[in-house]
Amino acid sequence: RLVEPRYRERIMGFEPDRTGLLIVVLQNDFLHPYWAFGRAGQSSPDIAALPARVKPVADALRKAGGWIISTQFTLVPGKGGEPFISPHLARLRPFLRKGDFTPGEWGHRLVDTLQPADLTIEKVAYSAFYQTRMEWVLRKAGIETLMISGIVTNGGVASTLRAAHVRDFHTILLTDGCAAFGGQTHDTTVAALARVSELLTGAEAGALIGAPTCARSARQRACPSWRGFLFSYWGAGPGA
């Protein structure tokens, strides 16, 4: 794998306590077979597999002192509990109804597999930065790097990643930690995002999270775990 020179310094200086795993809308209403999207038959095997794929990264980052951030798509209820639904969304997802993606309801929550989240951000559009407190809480928490996962790759994931990029957050897209309704759509979007973000698999992200304590020390080059990560990622150790 070739890593652009502008990213090498960031990888070498990776700090898990300044890193957040940003989970884009892995909510029960999207994933449970009897709730909003499942009720309408809107799912795919790749999407259904995501919680199990993302969990090892979440567990490793928690252990290393990092942050878990859940972005949760929200249909804000108005009078009588009827949700405000944007016209384009009503056309695209006509099955959405009262009670779907409602704050405080079980369907609105992050799936149990990935609980608990340290930070929860409600969102009403594709980007989790649009008209939300996302940037404010990330700055307050001291988060500089975002590992981004969730659904769908070509929608909320891409929009959120690009919004983070233009705000000078260091982004890492978990290529097997996100999915779309079609594999080709996912692959095309990942290829496009490679121009603005690092790409790592969940296994590579786990190796990166596990290595930095040694990497930040004066014995960086002698650290077997860190050298092993760089060898597997670049095909050569530091200084090669």
158 has a pLDDT exceeding 60: yes
Mean predicted confidence (pLDDT) in 180-188: 96
Torsion of the alpha carbons at 105, 135, 128 and 9, rounded to the nearest 10 = -130
What mean pLDDT, rounded, does the chain reach?
88
Could you tell me the two tokens for 97?
Answer: 């109804």
| 151 Cβ contact list (under 8 Å, min separation 6) | 24, 25, 26, 30, 47, 50, 157, 178, 179, 180
- What pLDDT shows up at residue 216? 47
Q: What is the pTM of this model?
A: 0.86
Q: What are 82-97's pLDDT values in tens digits?
A: 999 999 999 999 999 9
pLDDT tens-digit series, residues 40-71: 999 899 999 999 999 999 999 999 999 999 99
Contact assessment for residue 37 and residue 29, using Cβ atoms and an 8 Å cutoff: yes
Mean pLDDT for the stretch of residues 109-128: 98
